Amino acid sequence: MNFQQLRIMRETARCNFNLTEVANVLLTSQSGVSKHVKDLEDELGLELFVRKGKRLLRLTDAGAEALQIIERILIDVDNLAQVGARLADGEDGTLRIAATHTQARYALPPVLAKFTQAHPQVRLVLHQANAKEIAGILLDGKADIGLATDTLEGHAGLAAFPYVQWEHVTVVPVGHPLEQVRPLTLAAIAEWPIITYDDGVTGRARIDAAFAGSGVEPDIAITALDADVIKSCVELGLGVGIMAGMAFDAGRDVGLRKLDCSHLFEVNTSSLAVRRGRYLRGFIYNFISMCSPQLSEKRLRAVVKGETTSGA
C-alpha cells in the first residue's frame, strides 16, 4: 500500500468515479489509475467500488468505510508536513485564505491590516472564489481558512463558525423614484427590474423568501456573483440592486443611493470555516480570533479536532 493508491482512492470519489478526470488531477495515466485501484483492492482483499464492466459506478459499503480512513490518513500526512514547516521556519509561514469578492473587498481588509501588523513575517495569499467553490477549496487543502455566506455550513469535513452579520440594502441611481418611497416596500421594489446575486450565494435565499412570503413576484433581470457588478449595472440604469450593505461605499459610489430595507429581509450571517482534522499553525488561530474575538483558541482547537461541534 502506498500514498499514491490512497490519493487515487480519494480523488476517484471526488471526481464522481471518472478515472480520466482522476488521472488529469493527479498528472498520471488512466491505465495507471486503474492499476492502482486494482492493486489496493487486492491488497485489502475487498471490493471498494461497484462496477459495470470496466466503469466504476459508486463506492461499496467497504469502500465508503475505507475512504473515511484514507481521508484521515492523508490529512495527517499533510499535518506532518505542516509541523515540519513550523519547526523549520519558526514563526514564518503562509496563510492562505479563500473568500468571496464581497468578503475580500469589504469585510476582510481591517482584519488583514491588523494581522500583518501582528505577524509581519507571515505571507498572506488571498484567493477570491465563487462562494460555492470555497468548501471544495478547503477540503482539497488549497486554503487554510474560507469565508462565505450560506455555503460553508453543513459540510461534515468542515468546522464553520459565525463571522459577521450584515444586511441587504437596495441601491438605485441618484434621483430614482424609489428614493421617495418611505417606508420602502417589496411591492415598490418589484415594480422595477431587479439586479442581485446568483442563486444560492450571498443571502439570495433570504431575498427570494421575503418576496415569496409577501406574495410579490419580482422581476430578477440580472444576477451576478459580486456587488461591484451589481452596482455597475445599476449605474447603467438596468434596474435596482439588492446587495450586501457592507459593499456600498458612499465616498466612491457617488452616483448611487443606498436605501434601507432592513425591515424587508432577514439578517445574514457570513461564516468562517476550516477543514476538520487539519493542523493549523498558531498564527492561523490568531487570525480566526481577530475575525471572531468570541472564539477562544482552546474551543477552536477542540472543534477542529472533532471533539465538539461548530458554533459561537
How far apart CA 112 and CA 94 sit, in angstroms, is 13
Q: Would the pTM count as exceeding 0.85? A: no
Residues 195 and 233 sit within 8 Å (Cβ to Cβ)? yes
Q: Max alpha carbon distance in the chain (Å)?
A: 74
How far apart CA 164 and CA 148 sit, in angstroms, is 10
- What confidence tier does 88 reach under pLDDT thresholds 50, 70, 90? very low
Q: Is the pLDDT of residue 126 over 90?
A: yes
Domains of the chain with bracketed CATH:
3-82 (1.10.10.10), 92-165+270-304 (3.40.190.10), 168-266 (3.40.190.10)
How far apart CA 268 and CA 169 sit, in angstroms, is 12
The predicted-structure confidence for 10-36, as pLDDT tens digits, reads as follows 888 888 888 888 888 888 888 888 888
CA angle 68, 76, 63 (to 5 degrees): 20
pLDDT at 33: 84
Mean pLDDT for the stretch of residues 92-105: 90
CA-closest candidate to residue 282, choices 88, 92, 152: 92
Mean pLDDT for the stretch of residues 153-182: 92
- What confidence tier does 90 reach under pLDDT thresholds 50, 70, 90? low
In order, the DSSP letters of 249-279 are -TTT-TTEEEEE-TTTSPPEEEEEEEETT--
Grid cell 489509475 is found at 33
CA-closest candidate to residue 169, choices 219, 203, 199: 203
Mean pLDDT for the stretch of residues 136-161: 90
How far apart CA 287 and CA 145 sit, in angstroms, is 9
Distances 158 to 27, 109, 146, 303 between C-alpha atoms, Å: 27, 24, 10, 10
Residues 257 and 172 sit within 8 Å (Cβ to Cβ)? yes
The predicted-structure confidence for 40-77, as pLDDT tens digits, reads as follows 888 888 888 888 888 888 899 888 888 888 887 877 77
Higher pLDDT, 311 or 120: 120
How far apart CA 147 and CA 134 sit, in angstroms, is 8
The kind and range of the H/E element at 58 are strand 55-59
Q: What percentage of the chain carries pLDDT values higher than 70?
A: 93
List residues bridging with 271 in a β-sheet.
148, 162
Terminal-residue alpha carbon distance, the chain? 41
Q: Between helices 3-14 and 61-89, what is the axis angle to 10°?
A: 120
Residues 170 and 259 sit within 8 Å (Cβ to Cβ)? yes
List residues bridging with 193 in a β-sheet.
219
